[in-house]
Each structure stands twice: as structure tokens, then as C-alpha cells.
Structure 1
Amino acid sequence: MNTSQNVSEGAGNNVNKPLIIALDFPGLQEVKGFLNEFDGEKLFVKVGMELFYKEGPQILTYLKEQQHQIFLDLKLHDIPNTVKNGMKSLASYEVDMVNVHALGGKAMMEAALEGLEAGTPSGQQRPACIAVTQLTSTSEERMQQEQLIGHKLQEVVLHYAALTKKSGLDGVVCSTLEVPMIRQKVGDKFLTVTPGIRLANQGVDDQVRVATPETARMNGTSAIVVGRAITGAKQPLQAYKQVKQEWEGVQV
């Protein structure tokens, strides 16, 4: 599957713009219990550090057996050679999307892409590779004071997005609030994958730069990543349907 093409076909076409559910659970049994609520529906899910470090590759095998698409969210950030070899290993899992930190720089991102291409089995499409600009839990004040970055947050995000595209990657992880300026800078075919999605009546938890699914749709986001708004809901399937309706602009 060409994930990059599938996600990016048309900024206004939500048929090809997935809702990615963040499976931020401690283990496989919790994942199975959650997915049982969906009665066999084929989903696009995100596997992050907590789940992958606990369960390892078996969690990916299980999800693929259930025919779910997978965003493996490990945010690699190291010297170029280490990231290249790491991505070569991750490519063998045949997931749909992986990521790095843009802060690692152009050489590191280029090495990540080299590793992915080298590790992708013959005849298969390599995973889409995107780069984190600034985490949606990061405020401008925190970035300036703790990371000692003396620019405006939007300037930093835009710079990282342009650097990511120059490095040959498929897109970035950013706040949906930053999508319009990124599209203006680097074009509509560049993926913008946005976490920090909340329904209007929900709290922000530890996130800072948040938005509703409707705002993400109006801003032209390529894909949204939704975690606790769905996984923490008393009725996850109902919450999923509500988010999906807002994201796709469906009138109910």
C-alpha cells in the first residue's frame, strides 16, 4: 500500500484522509478488549512507545492479522547511522507509517529514508516517513525556556517542515493549527499528521496546541491522531463515530 499517496490525495477529500486511533494501552490484552468494541471494523491505529516496548513485534503481527493499518510511532532521534539501521529494521515489520524527530537534522532524516528503502521487502511499498516538528504538548514559552530556541513557535515548526521536505520525507507531525501555513510553504501533497484532537466538550489533558476534528478538517489536515478522546471514553465506539463524523463533515 502506498500510504503517502493514500493519505495525501486531495486536501479536501476526507475519503483518503484517515482517522488514526492511538492505542496508548499498557499491553495486548487491553488492546484486544478495546478493539472488540469495534466488531471487526478495519481501522488505522497508532502503536507508540508504551505498547511496542511492552509487547514488541507481536503487537504489530496481531494488528496486521486483524487487517488494521499501522502507524508505528517511535520518533527516532539519534546519529544518522543509528537511525538508518534502526529504520532498516523497522521496515521489515511492513507497517504503513513511521516517524523521526525533525530536530535530528537533514542528514539524519535522509539516513532514515535510506534505511527504510533498504529494509523494505522487494516488491513492497516502503512505509510513509514523517517527522515530528514540535510536540503538541509543547508551548512556545516552554520551547524557548527549556529548549533555548529563541524563535516563535510557528517559525520553528515551519522551518522544520521545510527541512523535512528538503530531506525527502513524506510529511510532518504538527498541530492542526499550523497546517495552513505549512501547506502554503511546502504544498498540499506534503502530509500533515496532527495529534492533539479533542471533541469540543473534552479536556485537553497534557496537550497544549489542541483542536477539534472539524477544525482539523477545515484546516486541510491530511490525517488526525486521536487517543484519549476515544480510548478514554465510556463508549469508545460512539466516541469514534462522533469524531469520524466531524472529521469527514458528515451531517447527522
Structure 2
Amino acid sequence: MTNPVYLALDLPQLDAAKALAARVKNHVGGLKLGLEFFCAHGSHGVHEIAQVGLPIFLDLKLHDIPNTVAGAMQAIHVLEPSIVTVHASGGRAMLEDAKAAAGEHTKVVAVTMLTSLDEQDLKRTGVGGTPHDHVMRLTELAHDAGIDGIVCSGQEVGGAHKQWKDGFFVVPGLRPAGSAVGDQKRVVTPRQARDDGASVLVIGRPISRADDPVQAARDIEATL
């Protein structure tokens, strides 16, 4: 992969999202479309963004019984996504069925722990141990289920990479040095995540909400 940066295009207006993608396309490696975008614009919106000519990452975080998740994966074959997310906490059978139902060229990656959560949040949901412990457990589960990789924060990707040498690691919640953290709790810089083994770097607001998105994308690209 020449450029590991996937721009998170979670904008409510389709025209604005497509225009932004076209502006920065030469300085990112792909485009991530999340739940907000997909609920607002559906398959039509994905097809429109795909016209920009970059790989599409559908961040749908599928989490349901195995049969339902498999059906959802089959339903999005026509969109030809390069990456699709499911929740690791859905269990091994769900992960196995998701991978079996995915398109031949689609990587299935399991979300371990959202970057908006910390150890206190884990405790409140009945999960013991540190975020690192939790992510390592789910990394092992994802590996055993035979999917392609995981989604984790930059603070855990180094450990996950050591545990799963040939895994595919998606790291969101990244912030360039000096930028606002916002609602993220476990952040690192894009360069640190890449050095620690990240395969894909998901970056949204530092580019999409910058005064000059093209320059912001160029600046991040230059650090890699």
C-alpha cells in the first residue's frame, strides 16, 4: 500500500463528501464510509463515492447473530468494499460466517475496543482488565476465527502486531501532533501507529475539518 491513510468521510451531505474526497484523493490511500454515511445515503452513496477512484472501507461494525451478519455481508458484495468491519465481541461463529460470506477481495476486520472508551468504561460494562488485556484477548479470537485482522487503537497495535505477525491492523482515532483530541481517549500520532505495525490509518476530522483539507492531508502524508 503506497499511502496507508484512509479518510473518514462521515459527512451528512453526499455532495460535500464527494467533493472533499475528490480534493484530497492524491494524498490519501482510501476512503472510509461509516454508519452515519451509510444510513444517510445507502448503497447509492457508496457508488457515488467509489467514482472518485479510491478503495472503499465500509465501517459498518456489523454485530448480530451469525446468520444475519453473513446475510449482510452477502448484501454488500455489489459494493465491492476493500475492507468491512464487524465487532469481535460477536463471537467466533459470527466472525467465521462473516469471513465466509465476504467478497473474495474484501478484508474482514474485527473491532476490538472503540477508541472512545477507556478502562473505566470497560469496568462499567463488566469487562475486567486493562484495554490492552481486552484487545489482546479479542485479537486472539479474531486470529483463531480466520478473519483478516482487527481494528484497535494506536496504543495497542504494537502488542497486537507482535501477537499476530501477518495480521491486518486498522487504527482509527489518530491525531497529528498538536491537534485536538475531541471525543477520543486513546490516541497516538499517525507516524507512531504506522511504526508500531498499523496497516491502515483512519483519519477524519484532522483532515475533513481543517481550514485547508488538502494541505492537512499533505502534511500527514509527509510524516509517514
The superposition leaves residues 155-174 of structure 1 with CA deviations (integer Å, 9 ceiling, x where unpaired) of 11001011001101100000
Is 1:164 paired with 2:142?
Answer: yes
CA distance in 1, matches of 2:22, 2:201: 22
Deviation at 1:204, TM superposition (A): 0.6
Superposed structure 1 runs of 4+ greater than 6 Å apart: 39-42
Pick the aligned partner of 1:226 from 203, 208, 215.
Answer: 203
What's the offset of the Cα at 1:41? Answer: 6.5
Give the Cα–Cα distance (whole angstroms) in 2 for the partners of residues 54 and 64 of structure 1.
Answer: 16
Q: Determine whether 1:129 maps to 2:81.
A: no
Letter in 2 for 1:98: V
Give, as a single letter, the amino acid of the residue that structure 2 aligns with 1:196.
G
Q: What stretches of structure 1 of length at least 5 have no aligned partner?
A: 1-5, 7-14
Asked if the contact 1:42–1:67 (Cα under 8 Å) also holds between the matched residues in 2, the reply is no
Q: Which residue of 2 aligns with 1:142?
A: 121
Match of 1:180 among 148, 158, 167: 158
Does the 8 A contact of 2:4 with 2:199 survive in 1?
yes
In 1, Cα distance between equivalents of 2:109 and 2:99 = 10
SS at match of 1:224: strand
User: What TM-score do the two structures reach when normalised by structure 1?
Assistant: 0.85
Whole-angstrom CA distance in 2 between matches of 1:127 and 1:35:
21
* Residue range with higher mean Cα deviation, 51-60 or 132-141: 51-60
> Is residue 99–residue 131 contact of structure 1 (8 Å, CA) maintained in 2?
yes
Distance 1:39 1:141, change over 3 A: closer
The percentage of counterpart residues that share the same residue type is 36
Structure 2 residue 12 is the aligned partner of structure 1 residue 26: yes
For residues 27 and 131 of structure 2, the distance between their equivalents in structure 1, rounded to whole angstroms, comes to 38
Q: Shift of residue 142 of structure 1?
A: 0.9
Q: CA deviation at 1:92?
A: 2.3
- Which residue matches 2:21? 35
Q: What secondary structure, in the 3-state scheme, does the structure 1 residue paired with 2:108 have?
A: strand
How far apart are residue 63 of structure 1 and its match? 2.1
Of stretches 59-68 and 45-54 in structure 1, the one that deviates more from structure 2 is 59-68
Alpha carbons 1:23, 1:227 under 8 Å: kept: yes
1:1-252 pair list within 5 angstroms: 15=2, 18-38=4-24, 43-116=29-102, 120=103, 125-145=104-124, 147-187=125-165, 189-246=166-223, 248=224
Find the residue that maps to 1:142 and give its secondary structure: helix
Asked if the contact 1:42/1:66 (under 8 Å) is kept, the reply is no
Equivalent-residue separation in structure 2 for 1:42 and 1:153 (angstroms): 29
- In 1, the alpha carbon distance for the partners of 2:11 and 2:117 equals 22
Task: Give the aligned CA root-mean-square deviation in angstroms.
Answer: 1.6
How far apart in 2 are the matches of 1:199 and 1:190? 25
The CA distance in 1 between the partners of 2:22 and 2:105, in whole Å, is 29
Give 1:38 shift.
3.1
Shift in alpha-carbon separation, 1:39–1:50, aligned structure 2, 3 A: closer
Q: Is the 8 A contact 2:9 2:33 kept in 1?
A: yes
Query: Does the 8 Å contact 1:91/1:126 carry over to 2?
Result: no
List alignment gaps of at least 5 residues for structure 2: none
Distance, in Å, in 2 between the alignment partners of 1:207 and 1:64 is 28
| Number of positions where the alignment pairs a residue of Structure 1 with one of Structure 2 | 224
Q: Secondary structure at the match of 1:148?
A: coil
TM-score (structure 2 length as normaliser): 0.95
Q: Deviations over 1:39-64 (max 9, x none)?
A: 77774000001111111111221122
